[in-house]
Structure 1
């Protein structure tokens, strides 16, 4: 069976934050801050770095693909069945930042993963907002 582009799905969450891109970048790239809003991790913002996110339900294996400080961060996100790419894009917006997250690569036969991401990312964004407010 040939795959068509509409069989590959993405989850996109976008939100404007009242913080400069550099502050969001810290929350997206410093392991102790990532752990507060996403999951425990051994992340480093270095292209080629392999790392894991871990939670009570299990772990996700990742590899950093792109790092452009305060602008773009991209890494693989998956397990033995799921192969997706998460891309963060930070765009200055007035005195704040427009943050866009896209997790791309869900196959049509992976509805559980896709629905999990659709439900999970908005909660992660809310937790990120809390972390940013506490960072000062």
Structure 2
């Protein structure tokens, strides 16, 4: 059985609660994965890491943030088929519809990448 992991402070964390929730493929009804339930300490660690990341992100220049978002967009685009396969397995969408979801996600990242032009204060 495949186990999902938490993602805390930029790296995977298996979880220590020893409790899991099933993840079923909606198309087949079969359980293909399980996800660990987080402990209070794991949730606290994730929140603390997110607060630290937010502070660092907020101090970064717009140019630096845009560069990171453009790299993120390139990764999404390069892996669109694999992402669509995950959407299909976890949400039961047909592959073509899942590809549409990825495309919509890319549009949102495009919007975020272009926000620096709007922040100049010009009318």
The TM-score, its normalising length taken from structure 1, stands at: 0.28
**Structure of larger gyration radius:** 2
Q: Please state which structure has a larger fraction of its residues in helix.
A: 2
Point out which structure has higher relative CO (alpha carbons under 8 A, 6+ apart).
1
